Amino acid sequence: MKYNFLGGTGLLVSEICFGTMTFGGGQGIWSAIGQLKQDGVNELMKTVVDSGINFIDTANVYSQGESEILLGQSIIDLGFNREELVIATKVRGKMGDGINSIGLSRFHIFNSVDASLKRLQLNHIDVLYVHGVDKRTPIEETMRALNDIVLSGKVRYIACCNWPAWMVMKAAGIAEKNGWNKFVGLQYYYSLAGRDIEREVLPVAEDLNLGVMPWSPLAGGFLSGKYTRDTEKAGDSRRDTFDFPPVNKDKAYDIIDVISEIGKQHNVSAAQVALAWVRLQKGVTSTIIGAKNINQLNDNLKSIELELSANELQKIDEVSALTKEYPGWMVERQAADRG
């Protein structure tokens, strides 16, 4: 396992981050994503830590808090050294019936962190992500609250998930102006079937020296190799009942054809090829993988051993490339005369 610095910090995190969205099995979408209880969680977590992964990602909304509970208990059950783990969770989603049990207000951020710590049975969170946009709360209020929660000792670092690039840059400016703690990383959907962050988000991450943690690098399982033009239902995948994140399936089938062929040449799964591609992209710090069982986890972990040739990377890039959009194509055109 390799380790990368998280943005401009001195914190080292494994190049693979383990996501715990399959822990719990609550109602609605969570029942489709995973149904793991404590024994299954402990089995996966032992393999995760034994593999060298030190970066674990959860969220308060995963199965309405059950994911955090199961993760925290596994750390105790397995006797892990807390100081060797980097635990990340999130704040923004609705976590109760109260009218203020949602969003990125100072009120909800402080309440949410206290509740997450209780569920996790920890005394601090290593990385706290804002888990999406709250249009009703000023960014200034959110950034001040995040700064203060860090100063309280309950959170070590703050990061961002699913914000537009302009909001990330605005937040950075507000924090810089006021001398507050800044975001150190970004968690965004990034896969061969969804390369949208290459337009604006990745350039912002490079400019601000932010770590990038891609979520759903297999596009919700669509790039696992289970789906083809002749197989629209895998039978054992969350995509069968929870078709998310959205993908252009016609284009994705073309991508699957290419990565499946490359996988055959290396005697590995299409999933390993898709994961390896994400891991090898410029700016990527730690790729988030999840699993519903030990076999799936072990297959995904093997992706760190796969090295793709320049020719293979070119084939994958060509079939998955974004269409050029304005002003990107004009910037590229006009940059030609500046070397």
Helix ranges (DSSP H) in 137-200: 139-151, 165-178
Based on the residue annotation, tell me whether 62 is a catalytic residue of this protein. yes
For residue 48, give both structure tokens: 């995760």
- Which of 3, 62, 129, 190 is labelled catalytic? 62
Tell me the C-alpha distance between 223 and 221, whole Å.
5
Tell me the C-alpha distance between 140 and 171, whole Å.
8
Beta-carbon count within 10 A of 158 CB: 27
Long-range contacts of 319-323 (CB under 8 A, 24+ apart): 319/254, 319/255, 319/257, 319/258, 320/192, 320/193, 320/195, 320/251, 320/255, 321/195, 322/195, 322/196, 322/198, 322/199
- N-terminal to C-terminal alpha carbon distance within the chain: 38
- What backbone torsions phi and psi does residue 225 show, to the nearest 5 degrees? 100, -10
Burial 62-88 (b: 16+ CB within 10 A, else e): bbbbbbbbbbbbbbeeeebeeeebbbb
Beta bridge partners of 57: 19, 88
Burial 159-186 (b: 16+ CB within 10 A, else e): bbbbbebeebeebbebbeeeebbbbbbb
Q: Give residue for tokens 């569920």.
A: 119
- CA 131 → CA 88, 126, 187, 201, distances in Å? 11, 15, 9, 16
Catalytic residues: 62
